[in-house]
Structure 1
Amino acid sequence: MIIDAHQHLWTADYAWLADPSLTPVRRDYTLNDLRNQMSVAGVDRTVLVEAGLGSSAETTSFLALASAAPEIAGVVGWASLTSPSLASDLDRHRAGAGGELLVGVRDQVQGEDDTFLDRPDVRDGLAVVAAAGLVNELVVRAAQLPSVVRAVESLPSSTFVLDHLGKPPIASGDMAPWLSVMESLAALPNVVAKVSGLVTEASWTSWKPADIAPYVQAAVSLFSPRRLMWGSDWPVVELASTYSQVKDLITDVLGGPDPDVFAGTAVRTYQLEIM
Protein backbone atom coordinates (compact mmCIF):
# COMPACT_ATOMS: atom_id res chain seq x y z
CA MET A 1 0.00 0.00 0.00
CA ILE A 2 1.40 3.39 -1.06
CA ILE A 3 -0.42 6.53 0.11
CA ASP A 4 0.22 9.97 -1.32
CA ALA A 5 -0.56 12.16 1.69
CA HIS A 6 -0.66 15.45 -0.20
CA GLN A 7 -2.16 16.19 -3.60
CA HIS A 8 -4.49 18.82 -5.04
CA LEU A 9 -7.11 19.31 -7.71
CA TRP A 10 -8.00 22.70 -9.18
CA THR A 11 -9.41 24.55 -12.16
CA ALA A 12 -7.57 27.08 -14.30
CA ASP A 13 -9.52 30.00 -12.86
CA TYR A 14 -8.06 29.79 -9.33
CA ALA A 15 -6.84 33.34 -8.66
CA TRP A 16 -3.36 32.45 -7.45
CA LEU A 17 -2.64 30.71 -10.76
CA ALA A 18 -2.59 34.13 -12.46
CA ASP A 19 1.07 34.47 -11.45
CA PRO A 20 3.00 34.27 -14.78
CA SER A 21 5.49 31.82 -13.31
CA LEU A 22 2.65 29.34 -12.81
CA THR A 23 1.58 29.20 -16.45
CA PRO A 24 2.73 25.56 -16.81
CA VAL A 25 0.12 24.45 -14.25
CA ARG A 26 -2.64 26.90 -15.11
CA ARG A 27 -5.19 24.39 -16.35
CA ASP A 28 -7.88 22.13 -14.97
CA TYR A 29 -6.56 19.12 -13.04
CA THR A 30 -9.24 16.47 -12.70
CA LEU A 31 -9.80 13.19 -10.94
CA ASN A 32 -9.01 11.36 -14.16
CA ASP A 33 -5.68 13.19 -14.38
CA LEU A 34 -4.95 12.10 -10.81
CA ARG A 35 -5.84 8.50 -11.57
CA ASN A 36 -3.44 8.47 -14.50
CA GLN A 37 -0.59 9.79 -12.36
CA MET A 38 -1.28 7.30 -9.58
CA SER A 39 -1.37 4.40 -12.01
CA VAL A 40 2.01 5.26 -13.51
CA ALA A 41 3.62 5.84 -10.09
CA GLY A 42 2.12 2.80 -8.38
CA VAL A 43 0.19 4.80 -5.76
CA ASP A 44 -2.91 3.24 -4.18
CA ARG A 45 -4.59 6.03 -2.17
CA THR A 46 -4.27 9.78 -1.68
CA VAL A 47 -5.20 12.57 0.68
CA LEU A 48 -6.78 15.48 -1.20
CA VAL A 49 -5.74 18.86 0.23
CA GLU A 50 -7.43 22.25 -0.26
CA ALA A 51 -5.85 24.11 -3.15
CA GLY A 52 -5.91 27.78 -2.21
CA LEU A 53 -9.37 28.77 -3.40
CA GLY A 54 -10.20 30.01 0.10
CA SER A 55 -13.82 28.91 -0.09
CA SER A 56 -16.03 26.51 1.85
CA ALA A 57 -17.51 25.54 -1.50
CA GLU A 58 -14.21 23.91 -2.44
CA THR A 59 -14.29 21.76 0.68
CA THR A 60 -17.89 20.77 -0.01
CA SER A 61 -17.07 19.78 -3.59
CA PHE A 62 -13.89 17.90 -2.60
CA LEU A 63 -15.76 15.85 0.00
CA ALA A 64 -18.50 14.98 -2.48
CA LEU A 65 -15.90 14.01 -5.07
CA ALA A 66 -14.01 11.87 -2.56
CA SER A 67 -17.20 10.06 -1.53
CA ALA A 68 -17.40 8.62 -5.04
CA ALA A 69 -13.64 8.10 -5.56
CA PRO A 70 -12.16 5.17 -3.62
CA GLU A 71 -8.67 6.43 -4.42
CA ILE A 72 -9.18 9.43 -2.14
CA ALA A 73 -8.92 8.19 1.43
CA GLY A 74 -9.32 11.57 3.12
CA VAL A 75 -9.73 15.30 2.57
CA VAL A 76 -7.96 18.19 4.26
CA GLY A 77 -10.43 21.00 3.68
CA TRP A 78 -10.10 24.75 3.83
CA ALA A 79 -11.52 26.83 6.65
CA SER A 80 -10.71 30.24 8.05
CA LEU A 81 -9.17 29.84 11.49
CA THR A 82 -10.55 33.26 12.46
CA SER A 83 -14.13 32.64 11.36
CA PRO A 84 -16.70 32.93 14.19
CA SER A 85 -18.69 30.19 12.44
CA LEU A 86 -15.78 27.74 12.24
CA ALA A 87 -17.37 25.09 14.48
CA SER A 88 -20.70 25.18 12.65
CA ASP A 89 -18.92 25.16 9.27
CA LEU A 90 -17.11 21.97 10.25
CA ASP A 91 -20.37 20.41 11.45
CA ARG A 92 -22.01 21.28 8.14
CA HIS A 93 -19.21 19.70 6.13
CA ARG A 94 -19.37 16.55 8.20
CA ALA A 95 -23.13 16.28 7.74
CA GLY A 96 -22.86 16.53 3.96
CA ALA A 97 -21.82 14.11 1.22
CA GLY A 98 -18.43 12.61 2.05
CA GLY A 99 -18.35 14.30 5.44
CA GLU A 100 -16.84 11.22 7.07
CA LEU A 101 -13.77 11.74 4.87
CA LEU A 102 -12.90 15.14 6.36
CA VAL A 103 -9.66 14.43 8.22
CA GLY A 104 -8.12 17.86 8.69
CA VAL A 105 -8.37 21.60 8.21
CA ARG A 106 -5.92 23.97 6.55
CA ASP A 107 -5.96 27.75 6.32
CA GLN A 108 -3.53 29.56 4.03
CA VAL A 109 -1.18 30.63 6.83
CA GLN A 110 1.71 31.08 4.39
CA GLY A 111 -0.02 34.21 3.08
CA GLU A 112 -0.16 35.85 6.50
CA ASP A 113 2.49 37.64 8.56
CA ASP A 114 5.14 35.78 10.52
CA THR A 115 3.25 35.89 13.83
CA PHE A 116 -0.25 35.08 12.55
CA LEU A 117 -0.31 31.84 14.57
CA ASP A 118 0.33 33.82 17.77
CA ARG A 119 -2.94 35.74 17.51
CA PRO A 120 -5.53 34.79 20.17
CA ASP A 121 -8.32 34.43 17.60
CA VAL A 122 -6.14 32.12 15.49
CA ARG A 123 -5.25 30.01 18.51
CA ASP A 124 -8.98 29.79 19.30
CA GLY A 125 -9.57 28.52 15.76
CA LEU A 126 -6.86 25.88 16.12
CA ALA A 127 -8.54 24.77 19.35
CA VAL A 128 -11.93 24.48 17.58
CA VAL A 129 -10.38 22.23 14.92
CA ALA A 130 -8.74 20.09 17.60
CA ALA A 131 -11.99 19.83 19.58
CA ALA A 132 -13.67 18.52 16.45
CA GLY A 133 -11.14 15.68 16.37
CA LEU A 134 -9.52 16.94 13.18
CA VAL A 135 -5.88 17.50 12.30
CA ASN A 136 -4.58 21.06 12.23
CA GLU A 137 -2.63 21.18 8.97
CA LEU A 138 -0.16 24.03 8.50
CA VAL A 139 1.26 25.37 5.26
CA VAL A 140 3.84 27.99 6.24
CA ARG A 141 6.94 29.76 5.08
CA ALA A 142 10.25 28.98 6.79
CA ALA A 143 10.16 32.39 8.49
CA GLN A 144 6.91 31.37 10.22
CA LEU A 145 8.32 28.21 11.78
CA PRO A 146 9.09 29.80 15.19
CA SER A 147 5.40 30.67 15.49
CA VAL A 148 4.53 27.08 14.54
CA VAL A 149 6.60 25.86 17.50
CA ARG A 150 4.71 28.18 19.83
CA ALA A 151 1.32 27.13 18.44
CA VAL A 152 2.09 23.43 18.74
CA GLU A 153 3.32 23.94 22.31
CA SER A 154 0.12 25.81 23.18
CA LEU A 155 -2.18 22.97 22.08
CA PRO A 156 -0.67 19.67 23.21
CA SER A 157 -3.99 17.87 22.67
CA SER A 158 -4.06 18.76 18.97
CA THR A 159 -2.32 16.84 16.21
CA PHE A 160 -0.50 19.17 13.83
CA VAL A 161 0.77 18.32 10.36
CA LEU A 162 3.53 20.49 8.91
CA ASP A 163 3.36 20.62 5.12
CA HIS A 164 6.46 20.51 2.93
CA LEU A 165 8.88 20.30 5.89
CA GLY A 166 8.10 23.96 6.51
CA LYS A 167 9.36 25.04 3.06
CA PRO A 168 13.11 25.02 3.74
CA PRO A 169 15.30 27.39 1.70
CA ILE A 170 16.70 24.69 -0.56
CA ALA A 171 17.41 27.04 -3.46
CA SER A 172 19.69 29.24 -1.34
CA GLY A 173 21.22 26.33 0.56
CA ASP A 174 20.95 28.20 3.87
CA MET A 175 20.01 25.14 5.88
CA ALA A 176 21.20 26.09 9.38
CA PRO A 177 18.35 28.41 10.52
CA TRP A 178 15.70 25.99 9.24
CA LEU A 179 17.42 23.05 10.92
CA SER A 180 17.63 24.85 14.26
CA VAL A 181 13.91 25.57 14.48
CA MET A 182 13.01 22.13 13.14
CA GLU A 183 14.94 20.61 16.01
CA SER A 184 12.67 22.50 18.41
CA LEU A 185 9.56 21.48 16.50
CA ALA A 186 10.50 17.81 16.30
CA ALA A 187 10.92 17.73 20.08
CA LEU A 188 7.14 18.22 20.37
CA PRO A 189 5.35 14.86 20.07
CA ASN A 190 2.08 16.22 18.65
CA VAL A 191 3.48 17.28 15.27
CA VAL A 192 4.00 15.21 12.13
CA ALA A 193 5.79 16.48 9.02
CA LYS A 194 5.24 15.89 5.33
CA VAL A 195 8.12 15.08 3.02
CA SER A 196 6.48 16.96 0.18
CA GLY A 197 6.86 20.07 -1.94
CA LEU A 198 10.65 20.06 -1.77
CA VAL A 199 11.60 20.20 -5.44
CA THR A 200 9.66 23.44 -5.83
CA GLU A 201 11.67 24.97 -2.96
CA ALA A 202 14.81 24.19 -4.98
CA SER A 203 15.68 25.60 -8.40
CA TRP A 204 12.84 24.49 -10.63
CA THR A 205 15.07 24.05 -13.66
CA SER A 206 18.35 22.79 -12.22
CA TRP A 207 17.70 20.96 -8.94
CA LYS A 208 19.54 17.72 -8.28
CA PRO A 209 18.80 14.88 -5.85
CA ALA A 210 21.83 16.00 -3.83
CA ASP A 211 20.06 19.33 -3.21
CA ILE A 212 17.04 17.62 -1.66
CA ALA A 213 18.63 14.71 0.19
CA PRO A 214 20.10 16.63 3.18
CA TYR A 215 16.70 18.03 4.11
CA VAL A 216 15.00 14.63 3.92
CA GLN A 217 17.80 13.00 5.87
CA ALA A 218 17.61 15.70 8.53
CA ALA A 219 13.86 15.20 8.83
CA VAL A 220 14.28 11.43 9.26
CA SER A 221 16.86 12.02 11.97
CA LEU A 222 14.67 14.54 13.81
CA PHE A 223 11.18 13.05 13.46
CA SER A 224 11.86 9.37 12.65
CA PRO A 225 9.85 7.69 9.88
CA ARG A 226 6.88 7.19 12.22
CA ARG A 227 6.30 10.96 12.23
CA LEU A 228 6.91 11.58 8.53
CA MET A 229 4.66 11.01 5.54
CA TRP A 230 5.30 11.33 1.83
CA GLY A 231 3.23 13.61 -0.38
CA SER A 232 3.62 14.31 -4.08
CA ASP A 233 2.30 17.88 -3.93
CA TRP A 234 0.91 17.21 -7.40
CA PRO A 235 0.10 19.18 -9.56
CA VAL A 236 2.40 21.87 -8.04
CA VAL A 237 5.28 19.43 -8.50
CA GLU A 238 4.91 19.73 -12.27
CA LEU A 239 6.67 23.10 -12.08
CA ALA A 240 9.91 21.26 -11.35
CA SER A 241 9.43 17.51 -11.76
CA THR A 242 6.83 14.82 -12.33
CA TYR A 243 4.67 12.78 -9.99
CA SER A 244 6.68 9.60 -10.52
CA GLN A 245 10.06 11.33 -10.35
CA VAL A 246 9.39 12.90 -6.97
CA LYS A 247 8.14 9.59 -5.56
CA ASP A 248 11.25 7.86 -6.84
CA LEU A 249 13.46 10.63 -5.46
CA ILE A 250 12.18 10.25 -1.90
CA THR A 251 12.25 6.45 -2.18
CA ASP A 252 15.91 6.58 -3.22
CA VAL A 253 16.89 9.00 -0.44
CA LEU A 254 15.20 6.77 2.14
CA GLY A 255 16.83 3.65 0.73
CA GLY A 256 13.47 2.14 -0.19
CA PRO A 257 9.71 2.67 0.22
CA ASP A 258 9.62 3.03 4.00
CA PRO A 259 6.26 1.61 5.18
CA ASP A 260 5.65 4.44 7.64
CA VAL A 261 6.61 7.33 5.36
CA PHE A 262 4.70 5.88 2.41
CA ALA A 263 1.58 4.72 4.26
CA GLY A 264 1.62 4.03 7.99
CA THR A 265 2.06 7.58 9.27
CA ALA A 266 -0.75 8.88 7.07
CA VAL A 267 -3.10 6.11 8.20
CA ARG A 268 -2.37 6.79 11.88
CA THR A 269 -2.34 10.58 11.70
CA TYR A 270 -5.49 11.01 9.64
CA GLN A 271 -7.18 7.85 10.98
CA LEU A 272 -7.76 6.67 7.44
CA GLU A 273 -10.00 3.70 6.81
CA ILE A 274 -8.18 1.79 4.09
CA MET A 275 -10.10 -1.06 2.50
Structure 2
Amino acid sequence: MKTLVIGATGYIGSAVAEALVERGHEVVALSRSGVEGGQYEVRVGDLTDPTSPAGAAAGVDAVVHVAPPPGDEQAGKAALAALLDSGARVVYTSGVWVLGASGDTPLGEDAPTNPLPIVGYRPRLEQQVLTAGGVVLRPGIVHGRGGGIPSMLVGWAKEDGAGRYAGAVTTRWPMVHVDDLAELFALAVESAEPRHRAARRVGGGRLHRRAGRRSRPGSRRPGPSPPVAHRRRGRGRAVRGRPGPGPDRDLHSHPQVGRLEPHHPTALTDLLTGSY
Protein backbone atom coordinates (compact mmCIF):
# COMPACT_ATOMS: atom_id res chain seq x y z
CA MET A 1 0.00 0.00 0.00
CA LYS A 2 1.11 3.52 -0.71
CA THR A 3 1.05 5.36 2.61
CA LEU A 4 1.51 9.04 3.35
CA VAL A 5 3.27 9.43 6.70
CA ILE A 6 2.86 12.86 8.23
CA GLY A 7 5.80 13.20 10.60
CA ALA A 8 7.99 10.60 8.87
CA THR A 9 11.23 12.17 10.10
CA GLY A 10 10.12 12.46 13.73
CA TYR A 11 10.74 10.14 16.66
CA ILE A 12 7.63 7.99 16.25
CA GLY A 13 7.09 8.70 12.56
CA SER A 14 10.51 7.48 11.50
CA ALA A 15 9.91 4.14 13.26
CA VAL A 16 6.47 3.89 11.64
CA ALA A 17 7.90 4.57 8.18
CA GLU A 18 10.57 1.89 8.68
CA ALA A 19 7.98 -0.64 9.86
CA LEU A 20 5.81 0.02 6.81
CA VAL A 21 8.73 -0.40 4.41
CA GLU A 22 9.77 -3.63 6.13
CA ARG A 23 6.26 -4.97 5.53
CA GLY A 24 6.41 -4.12 1.83
CA HIS A 25 4.58 -0.80 1.75
CA GLU A 26 5.59 2.31 -0.14
CA VAL A 27 6.08 5.37 2.08
CA VAL A 28 5.50 8.97 1.05
CA ALA A 29 6.67 11.66 3.47
CA LEU A 30 4.93 15.00 3.99
CA SER A 31 7.30 17.95 4.32
CA ARG A 32 6.63 21.64 4.66
CA SER A 33 9.90 22.49 2.93
CA GLY A 34 9.92 19.72 0.37
CA VAL A 35 13.44 18.63 1.30
CA GLU A 36 12.97 16.62 4.52
CA GLY A 37 11.96 13.12 3.65
CA GLY A 38 15.05 10.99 3.94
CA GLN A 39 14.85 7.97 1.65
CA TYR A 40 11.16 8.45 0.86
CA GLU A 41 9.23 10.24 -1.83
CA VAL A 42 8.49 13.73 -0.55
CA ARG A 43 5.31 15.74 -1.00
CA VAL A 44 5.03 19.33 0.13
CA GLY A 45 2.28 20.13 2.59
CA ASP A 46 1.49 22.22 5.65
CA LEU A 47 -1.12 21.17 8.22
CA THR A 48 -1.88 24.81 8.97
CA ASP A 49 -3.04 25.30 5.36
CA PRO A 50 -6.44 23.58 4.92
CA THR A 51 -5.95 23.20 1.16
CA SER A 52 -2.55 21.55 1.45
CA PRO A 53 -3.20 18.07 2.93
CA ALA A 54 -5.68 17.06 0.23
CA GLY A 55 -3.10 17.45 -2.55
CA ALA A 56 -0.48 15.61 -0.54
CA ALA A 57 -2.85 12.67 0.02
CA ALA A 58 -3.81 12.31 -3.64
CA GLY A 59 -3.32 8.78 -4.91
CA VAL A 60 -2.32 7.17 -1.61
CA ASP A 61 -4.11 4.26 0.02
CA ALA A 62 -3.56 5.30 3.62
CA VAL A 63 -2.46 8.27 5.70
CA VAL A 64 -0.68 7.92 9.04
CA HIS A 65 -0.79 11.16 11.00
CA VAL A 66 1.97 11.12 13.62
CA ALA A 67 2.94 14.78 13.51
CA PRO A 68 2.21 17.12 16.44
CA PRO A 69 -1.14 18.89 16.06
CA PRO A 70 -0.98 22.45 14.73
CA GLY A 71 -2.02 23.80 18.14
CA ASP A 72 -5.27 25.30 16.92
CA GLU A 73 -8.45 23.23 16.98
CA GLN A 74 -9.95 24.70 13.85
CA ALA A 75 -6.72 24.25 11.88
CA GLY A 76 -6.52 20.67 13.11
CA LYS A 77 -10.12 19.97 12.09
CA ALA A 78 -9.58 21.50 8.65
CA ALA A 79 -6.46 19.43 8.01
CA LEU A 80 -8.19 16.23 9.12
CA ALA A 81 -11.25 17.00 6.99
CA ALA A 82 -9.04 17.33 3.91
CA LEU A 83 -7.27 14.05 4.67
CA LEU A 84 -10.51 12.20 5.38
CA ASP A 85 -12.11 13.53 2.20
CA SER A 86 -9.19 12.18 0.13
CA GLY A 87 -10.61 8.65 0.32
CA ALA A 88 -7.47 7.25 1.96
CA ARG A 89 -7.62 5.27 5.18
CA VAL A 90 -6.61 7.68 7.97
CA VAL A 91 -4.78 6.53 11.10
CA TYR A 92 -4.61 9.38 13.58
CA THR A 93 -2.33 9.66 16.63
CA SER A 94 -3.81 10.90 19.87
CA GLY A 95 -2.54 9.89 23.33
CA VAL A 96 -3.48 8.68 26.79
CA TRP A 97 -3.50 12.23 28.14
CA VAL A 98 -7.06 12.49 26.79
CA LEU A 99 -8.10 10.03 29.51
CA GLY A 100 -6.81 12.18 32.35
CA ALA A 101 -5.67 10.91 35.73
CA SER A 102 -7.21 7.59 36.77
CA GLY A 103 -5.75 6.76 40.17
CA ASP A 104 -6.25 3.07 40.90
CA THR A 105 -9.04 2.66 38.35
CA PRO A 106 -7.80 0.84 35.22
CA LEU A 107 -9.00 2.46 32.02
CA GLY A 108 -9.83 0.63 28.81
CA GLU A 109 -10.18 2.04 25.32
CA ASP A 110 -13.90 2.68 25.85
CA ALA A 111 -13.36 4.82 28.96
CA PRO A 112 -14.84 8.32 28.75
CA THR A 113 -12.34 11.05 28.02
CA ASN A 114 -11.25 13.52 30.69
CA PRO A 115 -8.43 15.34 28.91
CA LEU A 116 -5.71 17.35 30.55
CA PRO A 117 -5.94 21.02 29.54
CA ILE A 118 -2.99 20.77 27.16
CA VAL A 119 -4.97 18.31 24.99
CA GLY A 120 -8.44 19.61 25.81
CA TYR A 121 -9.70 19.65 22.22
CA ARG A 122 -8.07 16.39 21.12
CA PRO A 123 -11.13 14.17 21.84
CA ARG A 124 -13.12 16.21 19.33
CA LEU A 125 -10.47 15.54 16.66
CA GLU A 126 -10.60 11.85 17.58
CA GLN A 127 -14.35 11.78 17.07
CA GLN A 128 -14.00 13.54 13.72
CA VAL A 129 -11.67 10.77 12.55
CA LEU A 130 -13.79 7.94 13.93
CA THR A 131 -17.03 9.31 12.53
CA ALA A 132 -15.45 9.41 9.07
CA GLY A 133 -14.31 5.78 9.37
CA GLY A 134 -10.70 6.34 10.40
CA VAL A 135 -8.65 4.80 13.20
CA VAL A 136 -7.34 6.55 16.31
CA LEU A 137 -4.39 5.24 18.31
CA ARG A 138 -3.70 6.49 21.82
CA PRO A 139 -0.10 5.67 22.69
CA GLY A 140 1.15 5.75 26.25
CA ILE A 141 4.55 7.24 27.05
CA VAL A 142 6.81 6.11 24.21
CA HIS A 143 10.31 4.83 24.93
CA GLY A 144 13.09 3.14 22.98
CA ARG A 145 15.83 4.19 20.58
CA GLY A 146 17.10 6.55 23.27
CA GLY A 147 14.27 9.01 22.66
CA GLY A 148 10.95 10.28 23.94
CA ILE A 149 10.11 11.67 27.38
CA PRO A 150 12.37 9.07 29.09
CA SER A 151 15.33 10.64 27.29
CA MET A 152 14.49 13.97 28.89
CA LEU A 153 14.28 12.34 32.34
CA VAL A 154 17.60 10.58 31.83
CA GLY A 155 19.16 13.90 30.86
CA TRP A 156 17.90 15.51 34.06
CA ALA A 157 19.21 12.60 36.14
CA LYS A 158 22.64 12.93 34.55
CA GLU A 159 22.59 16.66 35.15
CA ASP A 160 21.65 16.42 38.83
CA GLY A 161 23.20 13.10 39.78
CA ALA A 162 19.73 11.91 40.83
CA GLY A 163 16.30 11.66 39.35
CA ARG A 164 13.36 14.00 39.81
CA TYR A 165 9.91 13.37 41.19
CA ALA A 166 6.82 14.97 39.70
CA GLY A 167 3.89 14.34 41.97
CA ALA A 168 3.59 11.25 44.15
CA VAL A 169 6.25 8.56 43.88
CA THR A 170 3.46 6.05 43.17
CA THR A 171 2.57 7.77 39.90
CA ARG A 172 2.24 5.26 37.06
CA TRP A 173 2.59 5.75 33.34
CA PRO A 174 1.45 3.34 30.62
CA MET A 175 4.51 2.78 28.44
CA VAL A 176 5.09 1.43 24.95
CA HIS A 177 8.26 0.76 22.98
CA VAL A 178 8.48 2.86 19.84
CA ASP A 179 9.05 -0.19 17.63
CA ASP A 180 6.07 -2.07 19.09
CA LEU A 181 4.00 1.05 18.50
CA ALA A 182 5.28 1.31 14.92
CA GLU A 183 4.17 -2.26 14.30
CA LEU A 184 0.71 -1.41 15.60
CA PHE A 185 0.49 1.52 13.19
CA ALA A 186 1.36 -0.85 10.36
CA LEU A 187 -1.34 -3.26 11.49
CA ALA A 188 -3.83 -0.40 11.57
CA VAL A 189 -2.94 0.51 8.00
CA GLU A 190 -3.35 -3.08 6.85
CA SER A 191 -6.46 -3.92 8.83
CA ALA A 192 -9.47 -5.07 6.84
CA GLU A 193 -11.81 -4.49 9.80
CA PRO A 194 -14.46 -1.75 9.62
CA ARG A 195 -12.74 1.57 9.99
CA HIS A 196 -15.27 3.13 12.35
CA ARG A 197 -14.30 1.71 15.68
CA ALA A 198 -13.25 2.74 19.16
CA ALA A 199 -9.91 4.42 19.56
CA ARG A 200 -7.19 2.04 20.58
CA ARG A 201 -4.82 2.74 23.43
CA VAL A 202 -1.35 1.30 23.58
CA GLY A 203 0.27 0.99 26.98
CA GLY A 204 2.31 -2.14 27.64
CA GLY A 205 5.10 -2.06 30.23
CA ARG A 206 4.19 0.50 32.88
CA LEU A 207 6.96 2.52 34.49
CA HIS A 208 6.18 2.15 38.18
CA ARG A 209 8.40 3.66 40.82
CA ARG A 210 7.51 1.21 43.59
CA ALA A 211 10.34 -1.16 42.70
CA GLY A 212 13.48 -0.78 44.81
CA ARG A 213 14.35 2.02 47.22
CA ARG A 214 13.50 5.56 46.20
CA SER A 215 15.21 8.85 46.77
CA ARG A 216 13.18 10.95 49.17
CA PRO A 217 11.21 13.74 47.47
CA GLY A 218 13.37 16.85 47.55
CA SER A 219 16.56 14.85 48.02
CA ARG A 220 19.41 14.57 45.55
CA ARG A 221 20.60 11.26 47.01
CA PRO A 222 19.64 8.39 44.71
CA GLY A 223 18.67 4.97 45.98
CA PRO A 224 20.09 1.73 44.55
CA SER A 225 17.52 1.61 41.77
CA PRO A 226 18.24 3.58 38.59
CA PRO A 227 18.07 7.38 39.09
CA VAL A 228 15.89 7.81 36.00
CA ALA A 229 13.06 6.01 37.75
CA HIS A 230 12.76 8.86 40.26
CA ARG A 231 11.64 12.39 39.67
CA ARG A 232 11.83 14.90 42.48
CA ARG A 233 8.56 16.54 43.53
CA GLY A 234 8.09 20.06 42.31
CA ARG A 235 10.86 19.92 39.73
CA GLY A 236 8.78 19.33 36.61
CA ARG A 237 9.99 21.50 33.74
CA ALA A 238 8.47 23.06 30.69
CA VAL A 239 8.79 21.29 27.37
CA ARG A 240 9.27 23.58 24.36
CA GLY A 241 8.13 26.55 26.39
CA ARG A 242 4.91 24.96 27.63
CA PRO A 243 4.11 23.05 30.81
CA GLY A 244 4.79 19.34 30.54
CA PRO A 245 1.66 17.28 29.75
CA GLY A 246 0.74 16.18 33.26
CA PRO A 247 3.77 14.05 34.26
CA ASP A 248 2.45 14.02 37.83
CA ARG A 249 -0.85 12.39 36.83
CA ASP A 250 -1.38 8.77 37.80
CA LEU A 251 -2.76 6.87 34.81
CA HIS A 252 -3.53 3.18 35.32
CA SER A 253 -4.40 1.46 32.04
CA HIS A 254 -4.55 -2.09 30.75
CA PRO A 255 -1.72 -3.06 28.33
CA GLN A 256 -4.14 -3.74 25.48
CA VAL A 257 -2.58 -3.60 22.05
CA GLY A 258 -5.16 -5.18 19.77
CA ARG A 259 -3.63 -7.98 17.69
CA LEU A 260 -0.08 -6.88 18.51
CA GLU A 261 2.12 -8.99 20.76
CA PRO A 262 4.83 -6.62 22.10
CA HIS A 263 8.29 -8.13 21.79
CA HIS A 264 10.66 -5.23 22.44
CA PRO A 265 12.10 -4.41 25.89
CA THR A 266 9.83 -3.05 28.60
CA ALA A 267 10.43 0.48 29.85
CA LEU A 268 12.45 -0.55 32.89
CA THR A 269 14.56 -3.01 30.90
CA ASP A 270 15.18 -0.36 28.30
CA LEU A 271 16.23 2.16 30.96
CA LEU A 272 18.52 -0.33 32.70
CA THR A 273 20.21 -2.07 29.81
CA GLY A 274 18.82 -0.69 26.58
CA SER A 275 18.99 2.45 24.52
CA TYR A 276 19.47 5.02 27.29
Same topology, TM > 0.5: no
TM-score interval w.r.t. the shorter chain? 0.3 to 0.5
Structure with max Cα Rg: 2
More helix by share: 1
Output the TM-score relative to the length of structure 1.
0.35
